[in-house]
Amino acid sequence: MNIASINLSDASQATAPLRRGVPWCVSTEADIPLVRAKNLSMLRTSIVAKELDWLMGYMSDFIHNFNYHWKAAKRLLDIINDVSADLKLEANLCQMLFGRAVWLQMLPVDLDSEFIHHHYPLRRIPIGDEKCLA
Kindly report, residue by residue over 76-93, the tens digit of the pLDDT.
999 999 999 999 999 999
For the stretch 90-112, pLDDT in tens is 999 999 999 999 999 999 999 99
- How many domains would you assign to the chain? 2
Residues 71 and 21 in one domain: no
Residues 37 and 62 in one domain: yes
Q: Which of 1-10, 51-60, 100-109 has the lowest mean pLDDT?
A: 1-10
Domain extent for 24? 1-31
For the stretch 22-55, pLDDT in tens is 878 777 778 888 999 999 999 998 889 888 899 9
Residues 27 and 47 in one domain: no
Residues 54 and 70 in one domain: yes
Distance from C-alpha of 17 to C-alpha of 4, rounded to nearest angstrom: 9
Residues 50 and 5 in one domain: no
- Phi, psi (rounded to 5 degrees) for 38: -65, -40
Confidence class for position 8, pLDDT limits 50, 70, 90: very low
**Which residues, 6+ apart, have CB-to-CB distance to 25 below 8 Å?**
15, 16
Q: Are 58 and 87 in contact (CB under 8 A)?
A: yes
For the stretch 118-128, pLDDT in tens is 999 999 887 66
